[in-house]
Chain A
Amino acid sequence: MTELRYLAPNTLDEAVGAFAAAGSAARILAGGTDLLVQMRSGALKPGVIVDIKKIPEMTAIEQGADGGFRVGAAASGMALAEHRSFGKVWPGVLEAINLIGSKQVQGRASAGGNLCNGSPAGDSVPALVAAGAIVTVQGPNGRREIKVEDVPTAPGRTSLKPGEIMVSFTLPPRAAGSSDAYLRMIPRTEMDIAVVGVGVNLTLKDGVVTAARVGLGAVAPTVLLVQDAARALIGSKLDDAALAKAAAACSAACRPIDDKRGTIAYRTKVAGVLLRRTAAIAAQRAAQNK
């Protein structure tokens, strides 16, 4: 049996060096709520664990002078919930992150981990896609930025290159008249995996949608940015015709699996239903954000 080595570097450069040097035997430890379960079940036997939480940038939550946020990839859901302004500016992103697991899990689980885990059903991902969040990653060849929607490539797979570590999310400044929301469908009221998840981020001026982004989860091999749904909403007053067109675009984007949680037909229909409901919540919040 190979021995597990635990490393907890204080700087990102050290972490990248150690992570890249250990190659495929290494795993990054943020909240550990996926990693430790995989290790316990025997599905994963890492030779090196690189704990990134001693690196201040990894857990920092900062609001810039322009109002935009930079959220460390390992910041926990509970830390985001406790932040004085994050949930006011990004209520949809926060409610998505706070749907992940129990309060105990939220005390540790991070948006970075949720994204790197590569699950099509990760709750924070559609909301971050809708938010237009950009991910900063650092690897042996330096730093680069990726759109959140370009990170997952297949179930359990991401576009991060060997040795790259996810550092932070950048969320853009909030325009007046804009807000977001996230809804997911699960067969029970709490603690389950999304059957469908929809994130909507809207900007309205005089009741007319001037900008929109729609993220759709759990209905395809990766979380999707549904541009046709956004286009159907932009320029509308969220009237029935526009919502019907956007809902149809969400349903059309679905390429879901058929499993015990939901059939293909059910997931496809619910994607449209959730789009309508989520857009209504986002619009209501946007109206209050003057």
Chain B
Amino acid sequence: MSKVHVTTTINGEPMEFLCEPSDTMLDALRGPLGLTGSKEGCSSGDCGACSITLDDRLICSCLMLAVEAEGHRIGTIEGMAKGEHLHPLQQKFLEEAALQCGICTSGMLVASEALLKKNPDPSEEEVRFWLAGNLCRCTGYDKIVRAVMETAQDMRAQ
């Protein structure tokens, strides 16, 4: 098996890695790149735990081949906090206890950040529809939706 060399940008940093042609981006993130914040839930695009951004667009990293990252920009949960400063969404998820086991959390945060960049003032319905591709089996979603709504409000006030 000959590995493919991929040059890409991850969270603003130029990165290179080797992968098999059949590896998914999630395989590459959690393997050679050591970025294990993106979680593997279903590996079929149903659960959203592996959510990342590709050229600022929200996608499931399990539904993208790692070789496709060549020349593109990837954003992961590891790029969300700025040093010691949590993103307002991360801070609010903690305050509101919008997580229990944590498997869905990085995907929820990446997806929520993508929503707020696009729509800083979403309705509750818009939040729920946007996050329909992120499954959580612990919280029942209410705390997550509340945390996203409150963060949006805080960020608009700033």
Contact of B99 with A by CB under 8 A: no
Contact of B45 (CB < 8 Å), options: A6, A37, A49: A37
Q: Is B153 part of the contact surface with A, judged by Cβ < 8 Å?
A: no
Asked whether, in the complex, the Cβ of A4 is within 8 Å of the Cβ of B58, the reply is no
**B65 interfacial contact with A, CB 8 Å:** yes
Partner of A102, one of B4, B24, B48, B70: B48
Q: Assess the A41–B63 pair: CB atoms within 8 A.
A: no
A101 within 8 A of B: yes
Q: Choose, from A28-36, A146-154, A235-243, the stretch at the interface.
A: A28-36
What residues on A are CB-neighbors of B4 within 8 Å?
A: 6
| Inter-chain contacts of A101 with B (CB < 8 A) | 45, 133
Q: Does residue B21 face the partner (Cβ distance < 8 Å to A)?
A: yes
- Taking a contact as CB atoms under 8 Å apart, the answer to whether A102 and B132 are in contact is yes
Check B68 for interface membership: any CB of A closer than 8 A.
Answer: yes
**Does A104 contact B44, Cβ atoms closer than 8 Å?**
no
Task: Indicate whether A37 sits within 8 Å of B63 (C-beta atoms), given known contacts A101-B133, A107-B58.
Answer: yes
Type the 1/0 row for B15-58, where 1 means its CB is closer than 8 Å to any CB of A: 00000111010000000000000000001111010010010011
Which positions 112-158 of chain B face chain A at CB distance < 8 Å? 114-115, 129-130, 132-134
Among candidates B60, B67, B129, B134, residue contacting A6 with C-beta atoms closer than 8 Å = B67
User: Complex Cα distance A32/B61, Å?
Assistant: 11
Interface of B is mostly: mixed
| A76 interface contact, C-beta 8 A | yes
The reply to whether A103 and B65 form a contact with Cβ atoms under 8 Å apart is no
B22 touches A191 (CB 8 A): no
Q: Of A4, A51, A103, which is within 8 A of B133 by CB? A: A103
- Is A3 in the interface zone, CB < 8 Å from B? yes
A76 touches B57 (CB 8 A): yes
Contact status B21-A41, CB under 8 Å = no
- Asked if residues B45 and A33 are in contact (CB atoms below 8 Å), the reply is yes
Of A8, A49, A102, A108, which is within 8 A of B64 by CB? A108
In the assembled complex, A39 has its CB within 8 A of some CB on chain B: yes
Q: What 1/0 mask marks residues of chain A from 12 to 47 whose CB sits below 8 Å from any chain B CB?
A: 000000000000000001011100110111000000
Q: Which residues of B contact A31 (CB under 8 A)?
A: 63
Partner of A104, one of B1, B43, B60: B60
With A37-B45, A190-B129 in contact, do A6 and B65 touch (Cβ < 8 Å)? yes
- A280 contacts partner chain B, Cβ-Cβ < 8 Å: no
Q: In the assembled complex, which residues on chain B have CB atoms less than 8 Å from the CB atom of A3? A: 1-2, 21
B14 to A: closest C-beta gap in Å? 20
**A105 contacts B by Cβ under 8 Å:** yes
Q: Which residues in B have their C-beta under 8 angstroms from that of A103?
A: 58, 111, 114-115, 130, 132-133
The 8 Å CB contact of A105, one of B20, B24, B60, B114, is: B60
Q: Does A78 contact B (CB under 8 A)?
A: yes
Contact partners of A102 in chain B: CB under 8 A: 45, 48, 60, 132-134
Q: List 19 A-B residue pairs with CB atoms under 8 Å apart, sorted by A's residue number.
A: A33-B45, A33-B63, A36-B24, A37-B63, A40-B43, A40-B44, A41-B44, A51-B65, A78-B57, A102-B132, A103-B58, A103-B133, A104-B111, A104-B133, A105-B63, A105-B133, A108-B54, A108-B59, A191-B132
Chain B residues near A (Cβ < 8 Å): 1-2, 4, 20-22, 24, 43-46, 48, 51, 54, 57-60, 62-65, 67-68, 70, 111, 114-115, 129-130, 132-134
5 closest A-B pairs (Cβ-Cβ)?
A102-B133, A6-B21, A107-B59, A190-B132, A107-B57
